[in-house]
Amino acid sequence: MTDQAATRHLSSQRGTDDPARRRPDATGTGYAHAKAILLGEHAVVYGTPALAVPVHGLGVEARVRPAAEGVHVDSELFAGDAATAPGLLRPVVTALSAALDLVGLASGAQVRILSSLPHERGLGSSAAVAAAVTRAVADLASVELGPDALYKVVQEAERHSHGNPSGLDARAVVADTPIRFQRGRVAPLEVGAATTFVLADSGGAGSTALAVAGVRARLDADRPGVERVFARIAELVEDGAVRLARGDVAALGEAMTEDHRLLAGLGVSNETLDRLVAAALAAGSAGAKLTGGGQGGCVIALAGSEEHADELATALRGAGAARSWTTTVPAA
Ligand code: MEV
């Protein structure tokens, strides 16, 4: 699909003279939520499939207003001229200017970012900020962005945050349902029974860029060995999708725990993440693993019920988790 086809002006009459576009008090808003990867991170960068679930309780709202000139950002991390924003804000600035170009707004903008989504925790913060900003710009311009146009802008922003993104995060932070992702394409997943997960923050930041680069170095050093690991992860993903569709929590959990061990073998776990996974299993979780880039960030643990999720959260905090969130994926 072309960008033109994917991007539809709500009113074909609207041009750059549209008063709604020039009103200084006009505000566009956009939202995107967190995601958690159930199975398949890292291998997905090399074309294998992965499964992710939305985390609706954590998200980012962006508000964009037109400005006479320049781009001004106001966020928890930084407030000021976008040209002087720190590296962490590069994806936002990239998304903002790509989105302004895409919808044909040439002038400046003021963007305010309100986020409940912690960054560098493997929950998709950089993709969610980029998606929220892009949606806010589209809203300001009364342009409806198709999913592929939105994906393209978020991917451009993601390249600034970690070089070679698979596209999984860009798709997952705007997907309302659990998804299977492979090479840019997404399909909703069948969920046989409501499934509850606890996400626990190890308290340490994880750099996806460094973790992805570390796996790349291992692949370069031992291609056959690492490709065997990727092939096994791909099997776990396919089995996991079937187990989720059946509502077989015990079997899904086994796949998650094995995936954690494989990821640890690729060097993307650390002592704290391993300790949290062990604590979740000791507290009766059917399976647990790191989620996202790793080397910090979060673990995701399967709970048997919402009550069990409370027990798991307590156990995880007892083992050193800085905080935790519970999310339930409904049957669908
Ligand atoms: C990061 O959330 C997931 C990774 O697989 C990187 C990517 O898919 O681009 C580690």
In Å, how far from its chain's centre is CA 275?
Answer: 24
Q: Nearest C-alpha to atom 9 of ligand 1 is from which residue? A: 165
pLDDT digits (tens, 9 = 90+) for 35-92: 999 999 999 999 999 999 999 999 999 999 988 888 889 998 889 998 888 887 888 8
Supply the pLDDT for residue 23.
59
pLDDT band at 4 (very low <50, low <70, confident <90, very high): very low
Q: Is the CB of 158 under 6 A from ligand 1?
A: no
Q: How far apart are CA 282 and CA 260, in angstroms?
A: 15
Q: Decide if 3-185 and 190-329 have a common fold.
A: no
* Separation of CA 176 and ligand 1 centre (Å): 19
What letter does residue 287 receive in the DSSP assignment? -
pLDDT over 90 at 25, yes or no: no
Q: How far apart are CA 274 and CA 42, in angstroms?
A: 17
Say if residues 32 and 128 touch (Cβ distance below 8 Å): yes
Helix 271-282 and helix 249-265: axis angle, to 10°?
Answer: 160
Q: How far apart are CA 67 and CA 131, in angstroms?
A: 21
| 269 closest CA partner among 250, 237, 294 | 294
| 47 closest CA partner among 164, 205, 213, 210 | 164
What is the mean predicted confidence (pLDDT) over 84-110? 84
pLDDT over 90 at 14, yes or no: no
Q: Which CATH class is domain 3-185?
A: alpha beta
Q: Is the CB of 182 under 6 A from ligand 1?
A: no
From 53, 164, 166, 185, mutation site for ligand 1 pocket: most ligand atoms within 8 A of C-beta: 166
pLDDT band at 3 (very low <50, low <70, confident <90, very high): very low
* Separation of CA 104 and ligand 1 centre (Å): 31
What is the mean predicted confidence (pLDDT) over 10-31? 58
Q: Is the CB of 165 under 6 A from ligand 1?
A: yes
Instruction: Give the HSE-up count for residue 20: Cα atoms under 13 Å, Cβ half-sphere.
Output: 14
Q: How far apart are CA 273 and CA 281, in angstroms?
A: 12
pLDDT band at 107 (very low <50, low <70, confident <90, very high): confident
Domain ranges of the chain: 3-185, 190-329
* Separation of CA 17 and ligand 1 centre (Å): 41
Supply the pLDDT for residue 223.
98
Distance between first and last Cα of the chain: 29
Q: Are strands 28-39 and 50-67 parallel, antiparallel or unpaired?
A: antiparallel
Sign of CA dihedral 253, 256, 258, 260: negative
Supply the pLDDT for residue 332.
94
What is the mean predicted confidence (pLDDT) over 216-243? 98
**Across-strand partners of 55?**
34
What is the mean predicted confidence (pLDDT) over 2-8? 40
Within 8 A by CB and 6+ apart from 133, the residues are 30, 62, 64, 92, 95, 96, 99, 111, 113
CATH for the stretch 190-329: 3.30.70.890
**pLDDT, mean over the chain:** 91
Q: Is the CB of 41 under 6 A from ligand 1?
A: yes
Supply the pLDDT for residue 269.
98
Q: Are strands 28-39 and 143-145 parallel, antiparallel or unpaired?
A: unpaired
pLDDT digits (tens, 9 = 90+) for 128-186: 999 999 999 999 999 999 999 999 999 999 998 777 899 999 999 999 999 999 999 99
Q: Is the CB of 208 under 6 A from ligand 1?
A: yes
The rounded percent of the chain whose pLDDT value lies above 70 is 93
Q: Give 143-164 as a 3 state SS string.
A: EEECHHHHHHHHHHHHHHHHCC
